[in-house]
Amino acid sequence: MATEAPPPPRNGTEAASAPVTPTTEQFVEVQEGAEFGELRRTYRSFAFPLTLAFIAWYLLYVLLSNYAGGFMGTKVFGNINVALVLGLGQFATTFLIAWLYSRHAANRLDPQSDAIRKRMEGDA
């Protein structure tokens, strides 16, 4: 099924408000700039430590499950044992990290990336 092309602008305002498409050279120039480097550092300083911490936490859970069966089978209360508590903790930390990243991105990354995008598209 063919799609129709959008109608041409009726006056000059629609064409003037369309974002400018940057060239490859402009993208490379921005990527090598200090502002983009700061955006990358801000992202990495949050994402890498949390990723490493979560992987270590996950591997600890797997190793305990494989090699510390007695400890993992210890009853905490009722029929709830350490393995179940730690397993549910995996889900809790996944959602916590997602929530923290969402806040970090909204507060720190999005403003920086919006500034770069606006400058690239000629809106700034």
Place of tokens 């930390």: 93
Alpha helices in the chain (DSSP H): 12-17, 24-31, 34-67, 69-72, 82-104, 110-121
Residue 9 pLDDT class (50, 70, 90 cuts): low
Domain residue ranges in the chain: 22-121
Q: What is the pTM of this model?
A: 0.73
Residue 14, pLDDT > 70, answer no
* Measured distance CA(73)–CA(79) in Å, rounded: 10
Q: From residue 9, how far is each of 17, 18, 22 by CA, in Å?
A: 11, 11, 21
The whole-angstrom distance between residue 25's C-alpha and the CA centroid of its chain comes to: 27
Average pLDDT, the chain: 87
Structure-derived torsion over alpha carbons of residues 73, 78, 82, 88, reported in degrees to the nearest 10: 130
**CA proximity to 50, closest of 7, 9, 98, 88:** 98
Q: How far is the C-alpha of 70 from the C-alpha of 38, rounded, in Å?
A: 48
In tens, the pLDDT along 40-51 reads 999 999 999 999
